[in-house]
Amino acid sequence: MAATHPPQFSVITPSSLSSPSPLPMAQDDLKKIAAYKAVEFVESGMVVGLGTGSTAKHAVDRIGELVQQGILTDIIGIPTSTKTHEQALSVNIPLSDLDAHPVLDLAIDGADEVDPDLNLVKGRGGSLLREKMIEFASKKFVVIVDESKLVDHIGGSGLAMPVEIVPFCWKFTAKRLELLFEEADCVAKLRTCEKTGEVFVTDNSNYTIDLYFKKSIGDLKAAGDAILRLPGVVEHGMFVDMATTVIVAGDNGVTVKNKP
Ligand X SMILES: O=C(CO)[C@H](O)[C@H](O)COP(=O)(O)O
Residues marked active site are found at: 131
**Closer residue to ligand X in complex, CB, 122/140:** 122
Cα–Cα nearest to 47, from 144, 137, 170: 137
Question: Other C-beta atoms within 10 Å of 203: how many?
Answer: 17
List the one residue out of 158, 72, 155, 68 whose CA is nearest residue 108: 72
Pattern of binders to ligand X over 56-75, x per CB under 6 A? Answer: x-------------------
Q: What's the rounded Cα separation, in Å, for the pair 64 and 116?
A: 32
- Min separation Cβ 187 and ligand X, Å: 20
Among positions 125, 155, 224, 250, the unique one binding ligand X when judged by CB under 6 A = 125
Between 49 and 51, CB nearer to ligand X: 51
Could you please report the per-residue DSSP string of 94-107? -B--TTT--SEEEE
Stretch that binds ligand X, among 5-13, 52-60, 98-106, 195-203 (CB under 6 A): 52-60
49 binds ligand X (CB under 6 A): no
One character per residue 159-198, x = contact with ligand X (rule: CB under 6 A): ----------------------------------------
Q: Count the site residues for ligand X by CB under 6 A.
A: 18
Q: Which stretch binds ligand X (CB under 6 A): 89-97, 126-134, 170-178, 181-189?
A: 126-134
> Which has the closest alpha carbon to 98: 52, 59, 41, 136?
136
In angstroms, the CA 181 to CA 159 distance is 15
Q: In what order do the strands lie in the sheet with 120-121?
A: 113-114, 120-121, 238-239
Stretch that binds ligand X, among 1-9, 53-61, 96-104, 228-236 (CB under 6 A): 53-61
Per CB under 6 A, contacts with ligand X among 92-111 are: 109-111
- With beta carbons less than 8 A apart as the criterion, state whether 154 and 220 touch: yes
Residues paired with residue 199 on neighbouring β-strands, in sequence order: 192
Contact 147, 173 (CB under 8 A): no
Choose which of 30, 47, 52, 88 interacts with ligand X (CB under 6 A).
52
Beta pairing partners, 193: none
Instruction: Candidates 61, 105, 115, 131: give the one binding ligand X (CB under 6 A).
Output: 131
How many CA atoms, within 13 angstroms, populate the side-chain half-sphere of residue 240? 15
Q: Which of 84, 127, 206, 244 binds ligand X (CB under 6 A)?
A: 127
> What is the spatial distance between Cα 125 and Cα 119, in angstroms, rounded to a whole number?
17
Among 49, 51, 77, 155, binds ligand X (CB under 6 A): 51
Which one, 144 or 179, has the nearer CB to ligand X? Answer: 144
Q: Which residue is nearest to ligand X (CB)?
A: 125
- Shorter beta-carbon distance to ligand X: residue 42 or 128: 128
Element of type H or E holding 258: strand 253-258
Binding site for ligand X (CB under 6 A): 51-56, 109-112, 122-128, 131
